[in-house]
Structure 1
Amino acid sequence: MGSKIPEEKLKALIAFHGHWCPGLATGIKISEVVLDELGRTTDEEIVAVAETDNCAVDAIQFLTGCTVGKGNMIVKDLGKSAFSFYRRSDGKSLRIVSRPDAARGGGEEYRTLQEKSNEGALTPEESERFEALRRERSARILESEPESLFIIGEPLVPAPPFAPMKRSVLCDACGESVMETKARLCDGRVLCLACFERLVPRP
């Protein structure tokens, strides 16, 4: 594999994610840039904001140390292959956006089979062909220079604050604990978001 990341670590990443695909390869290349420019985080020294929830997010979490559970990977699914990274110690930051031609990628045959796959309509032969094309595309991404895949610039917004640690309150509808900053107050009752959306009619 054409990556700066050790092969054993890449194998562990693929096992963690569950399969090898172009999205994971994209996340590996993004992580290479981040590791070169900002280093690896062990706690919350670096925070990431992902504008998608695709496979690349798993690679970035695994390789950079920015994770959802730790609070320094924030996923805002805007449907864009774009990621911002901030190093808190000195304010250094960068935003990595997939180039339109790279994000589209794969060629006409690939895109046709992708659409059929999304619909669950692939024949066994087409499924085998699509998997081969996915492997080829993943390998090409991994062997590419980051500059050919991404536009690298400054983030559009400031670094997010540290992950909040707020007290929990009880939802008056379901009785479950919810972080107070995620609760809603309606007609004098404290509601979790799930109960609020279930009980309060939308206009």
Structure 2
Amino acid sequence: MPCSISKALIEKTKDFHGHWCPGLAIGIRAAELAIQELGPPEKTDLVAVVETDMCGVDAIQVLTGCTFGKGNLIHRDYGKMAFSFFDRKGGKGFRALFNPGIQGETGKELRALMKKAADGTISDQEQKRSEELRKTLPDTYLNAGLKEMFSVTKLPTPAPRPARVLQSLACETCGEMTMESRTRRYEGRTLCIPCFAQVDQKI
């Protein structure tokens, strides 16, 4: 089934992100899946856990209302195109893993061209072809069924706990205030992470 997100919301997402690209379309579909499975943001207490920092995360922020500032968008730097969503009210959650097979032959050709670009061996004609292929992928994603787009796994674990405002402590090296949970102890002193990294390298 094609994307059910309105054109107006898709345009809003594009404006927020700054350009239209395949990654943004993936994020739109992931957010659509979250709303379909758990309910709209205004009726749920959604939490998103993203395993990537790619373009699609911007779509998730716009369409689900999950943001870093509210503490309901959590980034786990695993480098995977995977998105978990929880509803704290309903107690349900799932993980959606993007299926690259949906790209078909286009994806295979594009990956080969991207490898050439990374190696510095891509020709001007191949670069143009790569750009043309990238432009076709968003429509492929928006017109695909969600079951084709993602492998979905139900999550038995509870949602991550709500964000807490913790005490800030002064780093005893640089003097900057640092959230207590992000400080490190070294030789009886309280340090921020950058200052700890400097002394830790010398051990």
| Same fold per superposition (TM over 0.5) | yes
The question of whether the paired residues in 2 share the 8 Å contact of 1:22 and 1:134 is answered with yes
CA distance in 2, matches of 1:74, 1:37: 19
Q: CA RMSD in A?
A: 2.4
Quote the Cα distance in structure 1 between the aligned partners of 2:60 and 2:181. Answer: 27
How much has 1:174 moved relative to structure 2?
A: 1.2
The 2-side partners of 1:29 and 1:170 are apart by: 43
Aligned residues: 202
> Is 1:5 aligned with 2:39?
no
Query: How far 1:121 moved relative to its partner?
Result: 5.7
Give the letter aligned to residue 114 of structure 1: M
What's the TM-score once normalised by structure 1's chain length? 0.88
Aligned to 2:146: 146
* SS of residue in 2 equivalent to 1:106: helix
Summarize the Cα distance change of 1:155–1:117 in structure 2 as closer, same or farther, 3 Å threshold. farther
TM-score by length of 2: 0.88
Q: 1:1-203, aligned counterparts within 5 Å?
A: 3-41=3-41, 45-102=45-102, 106-119=106-119, 122-155=122-155, 157-201=157-201
Paired letter, 1:91: G
CA change 1:147–1:65 in 2 (3 A) is: same
Q: CA deviation at 1:59?
A: 1.0
What is the aligned-residue identity percentage?
41
**Shift, 1:156, TM fit:** 6.2
Q: How big is the shift at 1:106?
A: 3.3
Q: CA deviation at 1:18?
A: 2.1
**1:4 is aligned with what amino acid?**
S
Structure 1 gaps of 5+ residues are none
CA distance in 2, matches of 1:171, 1:103: 49
CA gap 1:41/1:120 in 2 versus in 1, 3 angstroms: farther
- Return the offset for 1:159: 1.4
> Do the aligned partners of 1:81 and 1:103 also contact (CA within 8 Å) in 2?
no
